[in-house]
Structures are given as structure tokens and as C-alpha cells.
Amino acid sequence: MPRLILDGTSSGVKSRRLIFEMEGQPKYSCNSAAETLEWIQAIVDFLQSYRFFFDTHVVNFFKDRLWETVDKDWLDCLRNEPVEHLLQIPSGFVKDYWPASLKKFILTSRSLAFSREQVKMELISHDICVTPLNTVLAQGMNPKKKHEVEVLAAVVSSIARKVAAHVVVDVGAGQGYLAQVLSFQYQLAVVAIDASYHHGIVTNARAERIKKYYAAKIRKSGSGKGNLNILKTVTCRVLSSSMLRNLSNFSCQKGVVKEPKMDEGHDVSELNLPCNVLNADGASFVLAGLHACGDLSVTMLREGFKSTGFTLGKSARDLACQSAERWKGLEEDFVVQNFELHAFRAVFQMVLCRFYPEVLSTNPAIGRQGKALRRQERRRIAGYSMRLLGNGKSDSKLDMDSSHDEFQCKLRMGGERCYDNLYLFEKFCNSGLSHLGLEPVEYIGLQGLWKEFEHFIDLIGPYWSLRAAVGPLLETLVLLDRLLFLQEHCASHEVVMLPIFDPLLSPRNLAIIATKI
């Protein structure tokens, strides 16, 4: 199990060393560029043999006969396993009676991935105190966002005060949740940058409401003391590292700090900050981002493991977003339905392949048709059940015939629902074709197509679970790559990567923290 170790150095400053250990496996750490590259190379060497899991997508399961790429003994074993076991595979779950090669694949995948167990805040800094947000600051936040903002704001505040930063630049600020907490709760000077002009308007309006609350609180205290730090917003598209460097070169003239030149077509305004915020060359500042969208994160940290010659396509990057922690806690019914939706989409891909090949070549996306269908069916079944109960009919005597074509299912004792997958598949296909602006072809024969692949449908769950086991490893590779960039190009920086959020609330819980020494 990975563990965080505090080592004393000759200067008396504690450095944080992450050492990766697992019985029978080599130890990996990321305390230097050499160590990080060694870890990256170990992941790359392992993944080379399993590209068939992440170079394609489950939608092509039947089109490319993906089950044939996997060891037959693995699938023969897993197709009979309960769903709860499949869900735990990405978390390193194995059974003694499984094939040895399968157990090795699962355990090695897990052992090479960065641990997501939330680190104790005192291991980052002894003065970090995570303060719960009041109802005014937390307004509009869901539990996940509230947790992330509470923790990250405390970490950023601690770092800002430790390095005597004059300003915090929140890159990709969105609606300004993090920026507003840093500004009002931690009283830091904050610049919130986002490419959306609308986000800037929302951020400013929300900040004004929060300002009124804190101003009233000051007046009520009767002290008459205390100046509120109000965050400043900038609308621009951050496209290059030079853009970010320019943000550190603010010039303070008559209380006005000018923005760097922005892209044409984006709104530009003056950034009004007190002269004492940035009053000297080389003033310290903190650059922060919470789940920065689009290319912002990779703009801030360029990729650095090009020397391995290993590339990740879109399917691999999508797979890297899977959360082992969340999936293992899901209810069985939900997971079974999820596997069924994967089957619907994969057979629908065959519909496109055979009857609409010109559309298939454009990599069509049909959105969440299956989830919407499931919601509709649940509402219909619930409504029909209520009508039956109202008529005094017993579930045990229920026999739905073809006249009830809108409810092609059976209701069993105890409320258990058994969906007619063929009926749902036909509705799924019609919905998908409509979404793509296509007219159904009468001779498609959806029933025959479904029957053609029905025997392999129960392999989708095992295949998905094995594929998902690689997800945390792919994300580890991306994160180590970003860490390596800082280690290779910023020799004068102390750099660590730590899981600061609860992984059940926030699966993307790793923070890269770099401090210029």
C-alpha cells in the first residue's frame, strides 16, 4: 500500500516522500525527475501488452469482436462472477480460484497506480485548517464542490501566507467559488480568470451578494474595522504559457494594473488592484486551478514524457476518468442496467456499420439516449403499477400482453422489475437514429441483429471491468507526466503530488503543488 513518509533534511525542512510499495512488486516514488521517469517507464512497459483495452471503445465491442482480444480463460471465469465482484476489479479485487495470469494483471494494474487515499492535511503543512463554509459562501455548491473548495482553499491559503504571496490567480475560475472563498473567508487578494464572459458576470454578481453579508456582519460587530478583499475578474482565453507568465508581470501605475493583451474577440477590462498588492518587481503570487477545464491544465503544465514514445488517444484519456472508488460502491441493479446500456450502444454501432456506414465514419455521438430511456421506463412502470393497485389487481396475476406495447415488461412480487431488453433495444435504436437525423430502414431487422450478438452480451460486464482496471493507471501516467514536467524544467522548485480530497466525493483528488524555493 502506498505510504507517505516525512524525512528530515540537513536544513531542518521536512520533505515529503511518496514511496510506492506492494508485496512482490518494485518500489516506486516520485521525489525526483529520475524517480518519476522510472515509475512512468514501468507503467508504459506494463501497458504495452494491454493496448487493446484502451485503444478502442466499448461501443465497438461487437463491431471489432473485442472479446477475442482478451484471454478466453479470463472471460470464461468472469462471465459467471457476481456483479459485485466485477465492480471491485478496478480496485484490485481478486479471488483465489481465478487464473493466475488474471490475478497478476489486476494486482499489477492496481499496484502501479497512484494511491487515492486522502492524505492528512498536516503532512502538507502543520498550519492547514479546513474550515467549513457558511451557508452564504456555500450557496449553489453541491456536496462535491463544497468539499473541494473547503479543502483546496485551506491549502492555497496556507501556501500563500507561507510564501508571502501578494495575490492568488485562480485560472479557469468558472463561477468563482474557490476565488470567493479565498477572498472573503481567507482575506486574500484574488484575480479570477475565465474564458467565459458570462462566468465573469455571475462571479461578480455572486461576490456582491457575499460582500453585503460580510459588510453587514462587520457593522453588526460594531468594531467598524476590517476591509473586505473583493476578488477581481478577468475574461480571457489562456492559450499559452507566455500568457500565464505575463500575469506575474503586472505593472502597478496609479492603482491600476493592466491586463496582458488578450485574444481578439474577447472582452478586456482593467484590473483595479491597490498599489500595495503588487508594488515591487518579483512579487510573489500563487497560481491555482480547481479542475481547470479544456486545455487550461495542460497549458499550465506541458507534457513531459515524450521520451518514452508512448501516446494516449481519446479512448485512453476517457478511460483515465473512470473512478474505481465510486464504482465499487454502486448498487447492483444500477450496474446491471449500465452494462445493458453498453450492450444497446454496441449493437446500435452494428446498425450504423451495416446500414449507415457513411454516418459511422464521422464517429457519431448520440448522447445519453439510454439513460433517458431507462428513466422513462421507470416512470411508466411506476405509473402503471399505481393504476393496477388502484384497480385492485394483484401483481402475481399480472400478465402484460402485446396490447400494452408501451410497457413490454413483467412486474413480479415484491416490486422487482424485469425489462424486455429487445423491446428497449428497439426503442434505443429509434431514439439514436432520430438523434442523428436518420430515418429507420424497414429491412434492418433489429430483432435478428440483437439475437445475433445475444450470446456475447454477458461478456460486456467482465470486459468493461477489466478495461476499467487500467483507468487509474492511465490517469497516473498523465499526472506523473505533469509532475515530471515541473521536475525537469523547474529545478529550483519543490514539487509534490498528493491526494487532498476524499476520493468518494471527488475522484479527481490529486493536487500537484509546486513551490519556488
Residue 301 has pLDDT above 80, yes or no: no
Q: How far apart are CA 484 and CA 346, in angstroms?
A: 38
Lowest mean pLDDT among 71-85, 212-226, 364-378: 364-378
Q: Which of 153, 159, 136, 229 is nearest to 191 (CA)?
A: 229
pTM of the entire predicted model? 0.76
**Where is mean pLDDT largest: 222-226, 335-339, 451-455?**
451-455
pLDDT in tens, 493-505: 788 899 999 998 9
Q: Phi then psi for 21, rounded to 5 degrees?
A: -130, 140
What pLDDT was estimated at residue 92?
A: 92
Burial environment of residue 13 by CB neighbours within 10 A (0 to 12, 13 to 18, 19 or more): exposed
Say yes or no to pLDDT of 182 above 90. yes
Query: Average pLDDT for residues 297-312, to the nearest whole number?
Result: 64
What pLDDT is recorded for position 303? Answer: 59
In this structure, which amino acid lies at residue 355?
F
Comparing 402 with 463, the larger pLDDT belongs to 463
22/124: higher pLDDT: 124
Mean predicted lDDT score pLDDT of the chain = 76
- How many other CB atoms are found less than 10 A from the CB of residue 442? 6
**Closest C-alpha among 208, 177, 131 to residue 288:** 177
486 pLDDT tier (thresholds 50, 70, 90): confident
The confidence score (pLDDT) of residue 197 equals 81
What is the C-alpha to C-alpha distance for residues 346 and 344, in angstroms, rounded to an integer? Answer: 6
What grid cell was written down for 332?
447492483
Match 515591487 to its residue by C-alpha cell: 280
Q: How far apart are CA 435 and CA 452, in angstroms?
A: 25
Contacts of 504 (CB under 8 A, 6+ apart): 325, 326, 329
* pLDDT band at 298; cut points 50, 70, 90: low
C-alpha cell at 405: 406495447
Side-chain-side CA neighbours of 68 within 13 Å: the count stands at 5
Q: Write out pLDDT tens, residues 412-449.
A: 333 334 347 888 888 899 889 988 998 877 778 888 89
Give phi and psi for 243, each to the nearest 5: -60, -45
492: pLDDT confidence band, cut at 50, 70 and 90? low
* pLDDT of 407 above 50: no
* Average pLDDT over every residue of 460-474: 94
Instruction: Quote the pLDDT of residue 423.
Output: 85
Report d(CA 232, CA 112) in Å as an integer: 42
CB-count burial class (<10 Å; 0-12, 13-18, 19+) for 470: buried
**Is the model's pLDDT at 163 over the cut of 80?**
yes
Q: Which long-range contacts (CB under 8 A, 24 or more apart) does 374-378 make?
A: 374/337, 374/341, 377/409, 377/419, 377/424, 378/417
- Which pLDDT score is estimated for 324? 76
- For residue 410, what pLDDT is reported? 38
Would the pLDDT of 154 be above 90? yes
Long-range contact list for 401-406, CB < 8 A, 24+ apart? 406/380
Q: What is the mean pLDDT of residues 354-359?
A: 90
Question: Which whole number is the average pLDDT over 98-117?
Answer: 94
Question: Residue 270 is which amino acid?
Answer: E
